[in-house]
Amino acid sequence: MNRLPVVAEARAGTSAAKDALAADGDADSGVRVRLDGGIGAEPDAGPARGAARLPVRRLRVDLARGFPRLWCGGDAFRTHFMNALSMSFPVGEQFFIDSVKKGVATLAPGQQACWDEALRGFVGQEATHRFLHAQFNAELERQGLENHWQHWVAWRIERGRDMHPVNHVAVTAAYEHFTAVLATGLLRQASWLRGAPPELALLWRWHAVEESEHKTVAFDLYRAMGGSERRRILWFAYIGLQFFVESGLQTAINLWRAGLWWRPRTWWGGARFLLGRGGVWRACALPLLRYLRPGFHPAQLADAAEMAQWLESQRAAYTIVAG
Ligand SMILES: [Fe+2]
Ligand SMILES: [Fe+2]
């Protein structure tokens, strides 16, 4: 098999990581903030120990060859729900990168140094996700789908541009909790990706593992910035609502564009995927709601065993390029 496109893609992914690290000019540097001293808001000095060294991996996948329209085992709902998620990633993950960089820049200079490694790993991982999901989304566009979600996100980012960085980091931490919970579901529930081509299953599970690996970074940064529990919880409630509405709308639009809206099989598959045994609701509802509890920390999501097992089983599928 010709591996040239893989190398080109992976290199671009890692250089995207470097670019993202280098490009930042508008952070409010040197300002140490203590915002609303709500319940349990004790500023911490640095990232959790496990997040200090986050490996950036080069994944051996070649998305340039395209993939079937109903790539997720021929299941219309599962395929277009996953497609919808992917559509939100490039613009969303760029926002996460920008937010944590701005957040670290608000810390006292001595404290910022504690975050160098975690920031580099977080940015490297998210920039590589962005790159590969942009490739994935380009194929969706070739298949005739329209990405509306990215415009909704971009509009909101523009409107919130002048908010204090602690809000951007709170939003990032909220989304990171969503992705970490979905990631655990993806690793535990084989049915979610049943029938997917091996390369696509690899792409999604690799992303899931890295989401799980860096799930504490934005959260710990938020605490280091002195963000309150009340603000964290309120942002999560808002983001949660928004996520359900927008993921549902984009999935519905995808199904409509694909001409699959009127097939009863589409909605039967959707009901099983969302509400059935091992489905999204049962796997995710409680872990998601735990974020609303004062004193919650994402390290309490016990998924390290699944992660380590998966990484070990896929050792031939990636190279560690940094971290
Ligand atoms: Fe990501
Ligand atoms: Fe993430």
pLDDT at site 53 = 79
pLDDT at site 44 = 58
CB 46 within 8 A of CB 224: yes
Residue 59, strand partner residues: 318
pLDDT at site 303 = 77
When pLDDT is averaged across residues 183-193 and rounded to a whole number, the result is 94
Distance 77 CA to ligand 2 centre (A): 24
Give the model confidence (pLDDT) of 251-278 as tens digits.
999 999 999 999 999 999 999 999 999 9
- One DSSP character per residue, 65-133 reads G---TTTTTT-HHHHHHHHHHHHHHHHHHHHHHHHHHHHHHTS-HHHHGGGHHHHHHHHHHHHHHHHHH
Distance 214 CA to ligand 2 centre (A): 6
CB 135 within 8 A of CB 61: no
Residue 318, strand partner residues: 59
d(CA 200, CA 139): 12
CB 217 within 8 A of CB 168: no
Distance 123 CA to ligand 2 centre (A): 9
Q: Is 106 strand, coil or helix?
A: coil
Residue type, 237: A
Q: Which ligand is nearest to the CA of 175?
A: 2
Distance 212 CA to ligand 1 centre (A): 9
Give the model confidence (pLDDT) of 96-146 as tens digits.
999 999 999 999 998 999 999 999 999 999 999 999 999 999 999 999 999
Model pTM score? 0.85
pLDDT at site 21 = 39
- Specify the residue for token string 């299953």: 201
Give the model's confidence band at 45: pLDDT under 50 very low, under 70 low, under 90 confident, else very high.
Answer: low
Residue 56, strand partner residues: 322
Distance 126 CA to ligand 2 centre (A): 6
pLDDT at site 50 = 53
| Domain extents in the chain | 4-322
Distance 179 CA to ligand 2 centre (A): 7
Main-chain dihedrals φ then ψ at residue 57, nearest 5 degrees:
-110, 145
